[in-house]
């Protein structure tokens, strides 16, 4: 029999090796907490404490409730002490086995855990009926193990049934303690389940918060990379085009070549300013500025620019998004098309604003023509406009060349600030 008990103890502790992993994770959390605490002292803030490790060790001190029965065994007040000692050892073994598995969702839902809990109930019932007195205190311990293991809609029913059963057995064996045992059993069941469920919810929320923070960092990195791509791609394209124009003009018209070189210097200085603004997060695109730059870039590339604007004035945020579209679309016209004419049309109505950039080139998409969306810049702009409730389409134009169309909804606040519609204008 002693060999079986030893084997049971070894099996019980072999099933709880997960506490070592949990405790190691807790130590890492504590090291991170201390580092955050040292950094927070400088700002007068206190980081959130990670709390104790989620293991069965948190429930071990409650085994002290069985000291009364153990004292009876030592003092010889318990008849058949070997049976009582074997029952005490079996109960403690089952309690350790169940409570350690209760902190792992997969393990506490396994059949072996439920069987061990049922065996605990049988052992507790036998000891309570056989001895009474201090041995009745095993019912609250059984309720504690039940609350740690049973979760969900069955918890309330299990707590009531277990408390009723404990009170009935206690009343049969020792009537004066029936209400106390029943109340203690129900309270230990429900409070344990509530505390452990809340602890798990807090850990899940902390993990979700860390995941959201990680996603926010990744999103900001993506935004910054898109900004740099849009800024540098357009600016470098303009510099290359104007440099080629200056090289062509230098042999026959030095003053025109110097004018192109002056434009290159101006574009370079403006690019430095925009990069600084993008790094500090203060940059907001201006549609009028981008249209002016588009005319300059297209003219330097020997492409005739035609810009038309009509409708109500746009809100700054809408203008900023459309300015990005103008920058990217014109860059693609300059770099990838063989067009001689490019039309930019901005129309704003009562419900939406539309920007269309078309050229009379070959109509070939930059990449991935099957989807109709070009390279990295257009893909990033598609995501930006979608986040604002708009859309971006790019592909061969029905007439000829390539067309980029951006649409954004006009918010009511924009309509209120816009006032009366402006007359159509072309340039």
pLDDT for 228-275, tens place per residue? 776 677 777 778 888 888 888 888 888 888 888 888 888 887 777 777
Choose among 194, 200, 178, 179: nearest CA to 146.
Answer: 194
| Predicted confidence (pLDDT) per residue in 204-225, tens digit | 888 788 788 888 878 877 777 7
Q: Scanning the structure block, which residue is given the tokens 């807790």?
A: 26
Q: Mean of the per-residue pLDDT values for the chain?
A: 77
Q: Is the pLDDT of residue 421 over 50?
A: no
| 252-266, 357-371, 397-411: the lowest-pLDDT one | 357-371
DSSP-derived 3-state class of residue 306? strand
Sheet with 352-359, edge to edge strand ranges: 391-396, 402-409, 352-359, 341-348, 304-311, 422-426
| Predicted confidence (pLDDT) per residue in 123-137, tens digit | 988 888 888 888 888
Question: Which tokens in the block code for residue 48?
Answer: 């959130």
Q: 357: pLDDT confidence band, cut at 50, 70 and 90? A: very high
pLDDT of residue 211: 85
Q: Whole-angstrom Cα distance, residue 294 to residue 303?
A: 10
Choose among 155, 151, 177: nearest CA to 166.
Answer: 177
Q: What is the mean pLDDT of residues 103-109?
A: 80
pLDDT of residue 169: 85
Q: Is the pLDDT of residue 356 over 90?
A: yes
Total-model pTM: 0.48
Q: What is the mean pLDDT of residues 165-175?
A: 82
Q: Is the pLDDT of residue 425 over 60?
A: no
Residues 6+ apart with CB under 8 A from 353: 311, 314, 318, 322, 346, 347, 407, 408, 410
Contact 143, 180 (CB under 8 A): no
């Amino acid at each position: 029999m002693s060999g079986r008990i030893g084997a049971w103890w070894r099996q019980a502790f072999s099933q709880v090796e997960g506490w070592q992993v949990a405790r190691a994770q807790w130590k890492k959390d504590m090291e991170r907490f201390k580092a955050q605490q040292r950094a927070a002292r400088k700002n007068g803030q206190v980081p959130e404490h990670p709390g104790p490790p989620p293991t069965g060790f948190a429930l071990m001190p409650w085994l002290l409730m069985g000291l009364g029965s153990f004292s009876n065994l030592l003092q010889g007040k318990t008849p058949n002490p070997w049976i009582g000692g074997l029952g005490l050892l079996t109960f403690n073994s089952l309690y350790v086995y169940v409570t350690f598995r209760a902190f792992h969702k997969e393990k506490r839902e396994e059949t072996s855990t439920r069987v061990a809990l049922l065996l605990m109930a049988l052992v507790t019932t036998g000891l309570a009926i056989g001895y009474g007195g201090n041995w009745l205190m095993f019912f609250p311990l059984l309720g504690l193990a039940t609350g740690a293991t049973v979760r969900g809609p069955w918890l309330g029913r299990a707590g009531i049934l277990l408390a009723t059963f404990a009170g009935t057995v206690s009343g049969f064996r020792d009537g004066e303690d029936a209400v106390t045992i029943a109340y203690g059993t129900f309270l230990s069941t429900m409070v344990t389940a509530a505390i452990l469920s809340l602890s798990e919810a807090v850990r899940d929320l902390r993990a979700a918060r860390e995941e959201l923070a990680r996603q926010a960092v990744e999103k900001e990195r993506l935004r910054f990379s898109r900004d740099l791509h849009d800024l540098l791609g357009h600016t470098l394209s303009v510099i290359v085009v104007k440099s080629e124009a200056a090289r062509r003009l230098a042999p026959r018209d030095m003053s025109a070549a110097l004018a192109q070189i002056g434009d290159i210097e101006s574009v370079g200085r403006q690019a430095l300013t925009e990069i600084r603004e993008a790094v500090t997060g203060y940059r907001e695109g201006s549609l009028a500025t981008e249209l002016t730059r588009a005319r300059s870039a297209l003219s330097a590339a020997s492409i005739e620019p035609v810009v038309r604007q009509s409708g109500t004035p746009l809100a700054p945020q809408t203008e900023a998004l459309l300015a990005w579209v103008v920058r990217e679309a014109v860059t693609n016209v300059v770099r990838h098309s063989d067009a001689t004419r490019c039309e930019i049309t901005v129309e704003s109505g009562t419900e939406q604003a539309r920007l269309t950039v078309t050229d009379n080139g070959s109509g070939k998409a930059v990449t991935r023509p099957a989807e109709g969306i070009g390279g990295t810049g257009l893909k990033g702009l598609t995501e930006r406009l979608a986040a604002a409730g708009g859309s971006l389409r790019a592909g061969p134009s029905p007439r000829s060349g390539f067309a980029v169309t951006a649409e954004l909804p006009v918010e009511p606040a924009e309509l209120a600030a816009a006032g009366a519609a402006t007359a159509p204008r072309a340039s």
